[in-house]
Amino acid sequence: RLPFPESSLRHDTYNGVTLDLTALPIKADRFVDMLGRALDIRTAEEMRGIWIRILTSQAHLIAPAARIGFDFQHAEPWYCVLAKWIPKETESRLPNGPTHQVGIGVLVIHPLTGKMLAVEECTGPAAKRKLWKMPTGLTDPGEDIALAAFGGCRRRPVWNVFRPFCMLRSVARGSVLVGSTCSSCASAASRRSTTPLLS
C-alpha cells in the first residue's frame, strides 16, 4: 500500500499513477521517506510511471523529489508536475510537456490610401532593433485565432481591415515549425470590414 492517502492518488490506464500533493501539508524530510517507499512499491508492482503535482507553496518538495530521479514535466502559474519513468530496462515513454507557442501577424490596410499599418513595439526583439512591423502577438491557450488577431488590432489606431492576411507561426523550443494563412481570420475580417477597430 502506498504511504499516501488514497484520495491523493489518481491511477491511469497506462499503468501509472498521479500523486496530487496540493491538499497534503508534508515536510521535506518526511516526504523523501514516503516517496522512496512509494517508488519501491511501484517498482515491485512493475508500474511504469509516477507523476507528482506540487503547488508553488510546496516548492520545498521539488529538490527532494529531484534527488531520487524526478524531473519537471510541465508547469502552470500556480503548480508544477514532476514525473519519473520507473522501468530501468527501457527508455522513458512518458509524454513531453507543452512545447509550442502559436503566434499571429495581421496585415492591416487602410481602405482609402492603401497604406499598411506598421507598429513600433515597446518591448521584445523588435523593440531592441527599433523595427517597424505588422501587428503581431502570441495567442493564449484555447484562444480563437481570428479573435486574437482582431483583438491585437483593436489596440491600434482607427483602421479598417481590408483584404486581411493572417500568418500563423508555430514555435517549438525556439524553432519556427509552421507558417500558413488563416482562412478563418479572413472570413471574420470580411464580416467586420466596415467596422472601425476602435470606437
pLDDT tens, residue by residue, 112-169: 788 888 888 877 778 888 889 888 877 877 788 777 777 666 555 544 544 555 555 6
Q: Which residue has the cell 521539488?
A: 62
Q: What is the pLDDT of residue 164?
A: 52
* Among 111, 95, 82, CA closest to 197: 111
pTM above 0.75, yes or no: no
Q: What is the pLDDT of residue 14?
A: 82
Do the beta carbons of residue 196 and residue 158 sit within 8 Å?
Answer: yes
